[in-house]
Amino acid sequence: MCNVKVTAEKRFAVQQHLSRDKHINGLERNVPNRSEYFLDLTRTFLSCNIPLNKLENPAFSKFLEKYTNKQTPDRSILRKNYVSICYDETIQMIRSYVENKKLWVSINETTDANGRYVANVIIEVLEKTNHSTIAKVLDKSLSILWPQGIIHDNVLLFLSDAAPYMVKAATSIQTYYSKMIHVTCLAHALHRVAEEIKIHFPNVDELINNVKKVFLKAPSRIQIFKTMAPDIPLPPRPVLTRWGTWLNASMYYCDHFELIKEIINQLDGEDAVAVSKAQNLFSNHISNIYNSIRNFRTEIQKTPNQIGKIIYQKLSTTLNKNKGFKIISNISDILNGQGTTNEIPDDLTANDLAFFKYSPITSVDVERSFSIYKNLLADNRRSFLFENLKQALVVQCNSSECTVEYKCYTQLKMRSLPGGDQFSSGDG
């Protein structure tokens, strides 16, 4: 198209315009003159999470021109003409990869730094011999992979966390995907059990938190610690949102209890409230804390005490809610020659069962995708249009350097919070 408006009332007017040089020259201008160098440059920047505006840095621009003998393009040229090409190539690569193969799908949702709800979808192939609103998001993501029509019987496994809205979404999705089994992440399940354990050891929790504060931004105390204990690391700093960090911290004190106690007692209790609290905890609750930590791993299995029963009950309740895990367990027994097909869905064939041999049972891969998303949406890159952000994320996640354990990401959904701002165009 030449982008010139022509009245369509008379056929002669249209024919006359088509014969003019203005129309012919306009067509020639709109013929894409794609540069492989520009395309490779864009693909490299997106894959390595380098903002396109770095091309405007004079030193960087001169460096490229010196060693490539090619003109450095303006970032707007790459954003308008090449980012979408990289995105389309990546989507096509994913389509080719999953064509006529059995899949597992994992979905999770988060809120980004700009207050937008973002749902990430990870899709991977279930191999026979290799080791290798949510319902709408699933359908939309799979329609990108299969634009001619979703192959519902090829989706066998759906992984997610155990959030109530996710379980509800899975129930509605299974109406259309009759072979799909929904499994809630077992890593999440064990984390909830660990949180239950933490509740019943408040003194241990208080000790860990206070000792952490003792060495936080305190170079002089850190120096004392390194002098007295040169061969062990500083006390760990548990993070609420990172699984297992509190348990790792409790094991740390189990292994180094007496030495940490000696170091804390060497410090001035009047120097900080955290020091004073830590000293009191070490002196007043020594036997309780020490024995709780030291015997934690074995006592919960050996002694049928009240806490052990509560933790066991929590584990049983969590696993019983995970209906998909029971089906996966039955399939595992069948694959090991120890079960029958009486307790699995009728829609699953014997051939389908073979694909579950190496199926994942956690949704941590999709959690990792949010780390990549957060790194992409840095504080100095908030001018990203969401469409550009989506395309950059898909290309970066599917570059050969980034895809070590899984290959397919599709970042698909965004909706602004009520009253949310609209962001200006740009590429960050």
CATH number, domain containing residue 148 = 3.30.420
Question: How many separate domains does the chain show?
Answer: 2
Q: What is the pLDDT of residue 422?
A: 35
pTM of the model: 0.44
Q: What is the pLDDT of residue 31?
A: 46
176 and 245 assigned to the same domain: no
Q: What is the pLDDT of residue 41?
A: 92
**101 in a structural domain:** yes
111 and 208 assigned to the same domain: no
**386 in a structural domain:** yes
Segments forming the whole domain that contains residue 112: 97-185+322-412
297 and 343 assigned to the same domain: no
Q: Where are the alpha helices (DSSP H) in 200-285?
A: 202-214, 219-228, 245-266, 273-284
CA–CA distance, 55 with 61 (Å, rounded to integer): 6
385 and 299 assigned to the same domain: no
160 and 241 assigned to the same domain: no
**39 in a structural domain:** no
Q: Which of 50, 38, 117 is nearest to 80 (CA)?
A: 38
Q: What is the pLDDT of residue 4?
A: 67
286 and 326 assigned to the same domain: no
Place of tokens 């809120």: 111
Domain boundary among 244, 272, 307: 307
Is the backbone of residue 146 left (phi > 0), alpha (psi -120 to 50) or beta?
Answer: beta
Q: What is the pLDDT of residue 415?
A: 36
Would you list the DSSP string of 129-179? S----THHHHHHHHHHH-TT---GGGEEEEEE---HHHHHHHHHHTTT-TT
Q: What is the pLDDT of residue 284?
A: 56
- Neighbouring-strand partners of residue 108: 120
**57 in a structural domain:** no
**313 in a structural domain:** no
**271 in a structural domain:** yes
Burial class (CB in 10 A: 0-12, 13-18, 19+), 157: buried
**273 in a structural domain:** yes
**140 in a structural domain:** yes
218 and 302 assigned to the same domain: yes
119 touches 140 (CB < 8 A)? no
181 and 244 assigned to the same domain: no
175 and 148 assigned to the same domain: yes
pLDDT lower than 50: segments of the chain: 31, 129-132, 285-298, 300, 401-428
